[in-house]
Amino acid sequence: MIFTGGEPLTETRRRFIESAGFEVYPRYVATETGLIGAACPNRSVVDDMHLYTDRLALIPLDQGAGTRGGQIQRFLFTTLSAHTARIMLNTELGDCGQLNTQWCGCLLGEIGFNVHVSNVHSYDKLTVEGMSLLTSELDNMISASLEEMGAPPDCYQFWEMQDNEGLNRLVIAVSPDLKFLNEKKLIGAILDKLRCANPRTALASRFWNQAGAFQVIRERPRQSDSQKLLPVLKKREPSSIEEKHVSATPPTR
């Protein structure tokens, strides 16, 4: 049995972990609050979690933009327990997702924890060539494309960076261990997924394809001071090591 945290438990990551014979359950934890939620064993989606309503109150704030799982709802937290690390009143931690009340039949639900959170992710955005996308949306596209090519889900990072001409670029760092990976095909697959997802991402795909906005380099994912693997590093300076850059604008199908 494995409990996950730090990064959202996506379907791609769930399949990868369970392929090794483990059961995997997500936990929702933040530095400011400690434990926020625990996995529901009867979950209908991969990261369906019970909110610890004895410790925290959560208010969703609709943003009016669609993402995976429906409308974006920014989370505002209020602490209810004297044992949390900080006292908070309607405080944003940078997360969004879905909030609902339901009867699931598990032990956590039976003792009163019937408020569920799911599709939890950051609502940070990347803006390139005038087109903005949620980092969580792009993360899903990259992860799914790599999985289809036989790569594990946490072999990459991506960030927004300016090139020598002052133009923003989306840089994807992929582990050099994946020698079988074709970088141009990876970029093409990501652009295709963006094109097919919805009208907003389709427009971004067209602009980014024409501008050659993606670059792929071979570099191992780096860890933060807290040992959390960061999928997004914004405006990072190029590495001092020799990097292989691939900028491709393959035609979409």
**pLDDT in the model for residue 161:** 83
Say if residues 205 and 195 touch (Cβ distance below 8 Å). Answer: yes
**pLDDT in the model for residue 194:** 94
**pLDDT in the model for residue 246:** 40
223 by Cβ neighbours in 10 Å (0-12 / 13-18 / 19+) ranks as: exposed
Q: Which one is predicted more confidently, 73 or 244?
A: 73
DSSP the chain: -EEE-SS---HHHHHHHHTTT--EEEEEEETTTEEEEEE-TT-SSTT-EEE-TTTEEEEEEEEEEEETTEEEEEEEEEE--TTSSS--SSEEEEEEEEEEE----SHHHHTT--EEEEEEEE--EEEETTEEEEHHHHHHHHHHHHHHTT--TTSEEEEEEE-TTS-EEEEEEE-TT-TT--HHHHHHHHHHHHHHH-HHHHHHHHHHHHHT-EEEEE----B-TTSPBPSB-TTPPPPSS----EE--PPP-
Tell me the per-residue pLDDT of 129-143, one tens digit each, with 9 for 90 and over: 878 888 888 888 999
pLDDT (average), residues 36-47: 92
Structure tokens at 88: 């908070």
- For residue 160, pLDDT over 90 is answered with no
Q: Which one is predicted more confidently, 148 or 249?
A: 148
- For residue 67, pLDDT over 70 is answered with no
Say if residues 195 and 252 touch (Cβ distance below 8 Å). Answer: yes
pLDDT (average), residues 56-64: 80
pLDDT band at 213 (very low <50, low <70, confident <90, very high): very high
CA separation (Å) from 106 to 45, 68, 109, 112?
15, 25, 5, 10
**pLDDT in the model for residue 50:** 96
- For residue 224, pLDDT over 80 is answered with no
Say if residues 119 and 47 touch (Cβ distance below 8 Å). Answer: yes
pLDDT band at 33 (very low <50, low <70, confident <90, very high): confident
